[in-house]
């Protein structure tokens, strides 16, 4: 067999392979920043991947975990070689690598989580929690006895500042003098750091805890001391059934489902993604209130929350338990009628950051650096 | 700083320092016999996984720690086989062990994450001593038995190393294996035993993390502690008693790096424990001959009979 015949054979095999795959098959590759066993961010993305993978016959998925942020392009190359035609990169730090790869592979569709750079073949998506953090804050404000609530944060970036400020606005709505004490661990995942940060907050008198980092450590440490806490991201109720009050749960699958179906149906192509930016919240069911799916508030905490009654400027005398659900419905309803950052909002330095009657714009939300009144502790980058 | 600060800082320093202390004691023995083992992180994570898996299955935390010790020792024997018997490069083999351990534990750990340990190793209150003002809450409550066993072990290991014939044998193998060999000492056996002991103690340190310190399993939960152990071994200048101060001092710095955030820039504080580690290495490097003399003479060099 001469070289030319060999080439023809190879070409025929490749063509046949492509035809056999069918034109409408989608092979989606997922690039994760952490291990899928982290029980946090990456774990949640992988749970979602498996849900959509089982849902559709036309969909095949593959993933690569623990990819260093600077090396994402190499792994994208690898997924493209494996035949992926849709690639999801799930960490903010993948932003530039994904953008560069999108230029290099114009026929592949990219979607980048939590970023802001888009291209004709690159969309962005995010499931955000600030509304749910606000609801958690309402409950935390009612449950603290010392007036000090502890918050363990991963990095002082706008996403966390938004979470903490929304949480604090909730706290102050029901308990105007309570404080939210913040400690940063400068890592998304480091159980030992999260533990010592929690211990430091306990030593300072905090008695209710919330956090944004990727492990259930804060819950476990608080429970050891008999203190209440709020879960983050994954179902963490089982870690301390007597002490986890509520929390936030993510449903990335609703975004992946929507996106992949639209790619499959030809609605999204490699030419029209420049303005495709998912910013999905309670109303789109990308976020859920609770520490366990289907359980918004731990039944053990219903009575204490019903027993904490306040005089609310809008709703009059109302229990915090009822307030949580009134606010929940206002935000979960498709015609959203309330936002935690409804003006007037003052930062902790006394500046008016959201004028009366106004809501924060999307751009303001994703770039916010200020701290809401009631936040105590270091706030790197504070304006 | 009032007493409350002091009490909580010391108490947290002890709790955080435990895995570092156990790991450092083990690495001291391995290095005293002349074998560097950079696989501490890998042995710790394997110990953490094995400890959790066994404690969760059996419901007895002590058995989990035993499993962690066995697995840590087994992993170390692999390093001993490669470096002592096959005379592979100790640094490469150790690094491989770390990568292997992290990978294997991550793989085996699939499905174990997200579950709290049924029966964790609980904190104890030392009867009588806990009643002492200040010192009681500082040292004798909120600690697990491993804190006290670790300190006791350090003392025993110091006595063995510097006050017994066995210690002379171990140190002479690390200083000059050819001399030891000519005196009829089985260099291979001594090195195997010391490296295995190192793995055993590192395994317990890892088991402490998943069975006591934060009783659950998550991938990569050692988060770099193995590397701190390597630095502490040098800081302690291969002396088990100094390892106590090293481990607990590092623990205090680590805790304070969160505690002091209200007053000092958190970015600076985050660096503090590691800046300290680098400082120690720099001092040990520049600090010249005195510190270098403390290092075992044949550290990192495979022994081949008849070669020098």
What is the pLDDT of chain A when averaged over all its residues? 92
pLDDT for A290-328, tens place per residue? Answer: 999 999 999 999 999 999 999 999 999 999 999 999 999
Q: What is the percent of chain B where pLDDT is above 70? A: 96
Q: Cβ–Cβ of B214/A234 closer than 8 Å?
A: no
- Segment A142-182, tens digit of pLDDT: 999 999 999 999 999 999 999 999 999 999 999 999 999 99
On the question of pLDDT at B233 being above 60, the answer is yes
Establish if B220 touches chain A: CB-CB under 8 angstroms.
Answer: yes
pLDDT at B55 (0 to 100): 97
- Between these two residues, B170 and B288, which has the higher pLDDT value? B170
Q: Is B113 on the interface with A (CB under 8 A)?
A: yes
Cis peptide before A242 (omega within 30 of 0): no
Has residue A344 got a pLDDT over 80?
yes
B176–A contact, CB cutoff 8 A = no
Nearest residue of B to residue A196, measured between CA atoms: B255
Which has more pLDDT, A22 or B255?
A: B255
Residue A8's pLDDT band (cuts 50, 70, 90)? low
Q: pTM above 0.90?
A: no
Q: Where are the domains of chain B?
A: 12-294
Which pLDDT does position B278 carry in this prediction?
Answer: 81
Mean pLDDT, range B116-128, rounded to an integer = 90
B108 Cβ under 8 Å from any chain A Cβ = no
Alpha helices in B116-237 (DSSP H): 135-139, 145-163, 165-175, 177-182, 187-208, 225-235
Q: Do B113 and A37 touch (CB under 8 A)?
A: yes
Asked if A38 lies within 8 A of B259 by C-beta distance, the reply is no
Average pLDDT, chain B: 91
Residue A110 has pLDDT above 60, yes or no: yes
- Residue A19 has a pLDDT of 45
CB A31 within 8 A of CB A67: yes
Residue A26 has pLDDT above 70, yes or no: yes
Between A161 and B134, name the one with better pLDDT: A161
CA–centroid distance for A364 within its chain: 17
- A22: confidence class by pLDDT, cuts 50, 70, 90: very low
Q: Is the dihedral of CA A325, A328, A329, A332 positive or negative?
A: negative
What is the tens place of the pLDDT at every residue in A47-91? Answer: 999 999 999 999 999 999 989 988 999 999 999 999 999 999 999
**Percentage of residues in chain B with pLDDT exceeding 90?**
68
State the sign of the Cα–Cα–Cα–Cα dihedral B168, B174, B180, B181: positive
Q: What per-residue confidence (pLDDT) applies to A347?
A: 95
Q: Which CATH class is domain B12-294?
A: mainly alpha
Task: Give chain A's domains with CATH numbers.
Answer: 23-127+252-280 (3.40.50.2300), 130-249+287-376 (3.40.50.2300)
DSSP letter at A69?
A: G
Judge: A196–B258 Cβ closer than 8 Å, yes or no. Answer: yes
Query: Are the beta carbons of B31 and B238 closer than 8 angstroms?
Result: yes
pLDDT at residue A16 greater than cutoff 50? no
**Cα three-residue angle A68-A69-A72, rounded to 5 degrees:** 85
Give me the residues paired with residue A375 across strands.
A180
CB contact under 8 A, B223 and A239: no
pLDDT of residue A3: 56
What integer pLDDT is reported at residue B290 of this predicted model? 63
A117: pLDDT strictly greater than 70: yes
∠ Cα A14 A15 A21 (to 5°): 90
pLDDT beyond 80 at A115: yes
DSSP string covering B63-132: HHHHHHHHHHHHHHHHHHIIIIIS---HHHHHHHHHHHHHHHHHHHTTTTTT-B-SS----B--TTGGGS
With a cut of 70, say whether residue B208 has pLDDT above it.
yes
CB-CB neighbors (< 8 A) of B3 in chain A: none
Q: Could you tell me which residue, A226 or A34, shows the higher pLDDT?
A: A226
| Band of pLDDT at residue A20, cut at 50, 70 and 90 | very low
Residue B53 clears pLDDT 80, i.e. is over it: yes
pLDDT at A14: 52
- For the stretch A210-266, pLDDT in tens is 999 888 899 999 999 999 999 998 899 999 999 999 999 999 999 999 999 999 999
User: Within a 10 A sphere around the Cβ of B134, how many other Cβ atoms?
Assistant: 12
How many other C-beta atoms lie within 10 A of the C-beta of residue B271? Answer: 14
Q: How far apart are CA B243 and CA B161, in angstroms?
A: 13
Tell me what percent of the residues of chain A surpass a pLDDT of 90: 82
By the 8 A CB rule, do A164 and A371 touch? Answer: yes
Q: Quote the pLDDT of residue B307.
A: 67
């Amino acid at each position: 067999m001469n070289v030319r015949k060999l080439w023809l054979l190879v070409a025929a095999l490749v063509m046949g392979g492509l035809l056999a795959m069918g034109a409408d098959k989608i092979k989606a590759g997922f690039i994760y920043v952490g291990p899928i066993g982290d029980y946090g961010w990456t774990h949640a993305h992988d749970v979602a991947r498996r849900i959509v993978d089982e849902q559709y016959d036309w969909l095949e998925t593959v993933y690569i975990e623990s990819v260093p942020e600077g090396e994402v392009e190499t792994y994208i190359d690898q997924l493209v070689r494996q035949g992926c035609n849709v690639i999801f990169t799930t960490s903010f730090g993948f932003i530039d690598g994904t953008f560069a790869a999108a230029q290099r592979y114009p026929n592949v569709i990219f979607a980048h989580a939590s970023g802001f750079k888009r291209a004709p073949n690159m969309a962005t998506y995010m499931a955000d929690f600030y509304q749910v953090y606000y609801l958690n804050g309402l409950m935390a404000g009612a449950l603290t006895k010392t007036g000090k609530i502890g918050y363990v944060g991963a990095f002082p970036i706008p996403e966390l500042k938004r979470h903490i400020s929304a949480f604090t606005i909730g706290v102050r709505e029901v308990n105007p003098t309570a404080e939210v004490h913040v400690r940063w661990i400068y890592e998304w995942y480091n159980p030992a750091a999260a533990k010592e940060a929690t211990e430091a907050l306990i030593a300072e008198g905090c008695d209710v805890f919330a956090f944004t980092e990727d492990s259930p450590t804060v819950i476990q440490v608080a429970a050891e001391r008999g203190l209440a806490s709020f879960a983050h991201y994954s179902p963490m109720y089982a870690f301390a059934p007597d002490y986890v009050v509520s929390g936030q749960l993510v449903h990335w699958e609703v975004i992946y489902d929507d996106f992949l179906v639209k790619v499959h149906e030809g609605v999204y192509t490699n030419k029209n993604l420049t303005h495709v930016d998912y910013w999905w919240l309670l109303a789109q069911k990308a976020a859920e209130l609770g520490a366990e799916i289907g359980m918004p508030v731990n039944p053990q905490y219903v009575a204490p929350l019903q027993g904490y009654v306040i005089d609310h400027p809008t709703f009059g005398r109302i229990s915090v338990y009822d307030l949580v659900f009134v606010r929940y419905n206002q935000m979960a309803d498709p015609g959203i009628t309330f936002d935690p950052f409804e003006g007037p909002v003052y930062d902790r330095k006394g500046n008016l950051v959201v004028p009366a009657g106004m809501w924060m714009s999307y751009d303001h939300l994703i770039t916010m650096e200020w701290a809401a009144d009631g936040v105590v502790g270091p706030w790197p980058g504070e304006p | 700083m009032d007493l409350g600060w002091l009490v909580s800082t010391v108490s947290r320093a002890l709790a955080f320092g435990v895995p570092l202390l156990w790991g450092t004691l083990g690495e001291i023995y391995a290095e005293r016999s002349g074998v560097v083992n950079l696989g501490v992180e890998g042995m710790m994570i394997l110990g953490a996984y094995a400890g959790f898996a066994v404690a969760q299955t059996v419901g007895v935390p002590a058995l989990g720690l035993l499993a962690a010790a066995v697995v840590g020792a087994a992993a170390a024997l692999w390093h001993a086989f490669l470096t002592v018997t096959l005379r592979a490069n100790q640094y490469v083999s150790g690094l491989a062990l770390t990568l292997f351990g992290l990978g294997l534990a991550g793989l085996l750990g699939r499905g174990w994450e997200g579950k709290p340990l049924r029966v964790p190793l609980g904190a104890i209150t030392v009867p009588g001593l806990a009643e002492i003002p200040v010192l009681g809450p500082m040292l004798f409550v909120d600690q697990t038995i491993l804190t006290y066993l670790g300190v006791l072990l350090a003392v025993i290991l110091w006595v063995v190393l510097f006050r017994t014939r066995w210690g002379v044998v171990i140190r002479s193998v690390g200083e000059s294996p050819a001399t030891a060999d000519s005196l009829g000492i089985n260099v291979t056996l001594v090195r195997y035993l010391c490296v295995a002991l190192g793995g055993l103690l590192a395994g317990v340190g890892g088991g402490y993390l998943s069975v006591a310190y934060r009783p659950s399993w998550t991938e990569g939960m050692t988060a770099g502690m193995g590397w701190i152990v390597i630095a502490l071994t040098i800081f302690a200048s291969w002396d088990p008693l100094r390892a106590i101060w090293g481990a607990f001092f590092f623990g205090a710095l680590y805790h304070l790096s969160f505690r002091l955030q209200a007053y000092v820039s958190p970015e600076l504080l985050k660096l503090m424990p590691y800046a300290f580690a680098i400082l120690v290495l720099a001092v040990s490097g520049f600090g010249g001959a005195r510190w270098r003399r403390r290092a075992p003479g044949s550290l990192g060099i495979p022994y081949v009979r008849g070669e020098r």
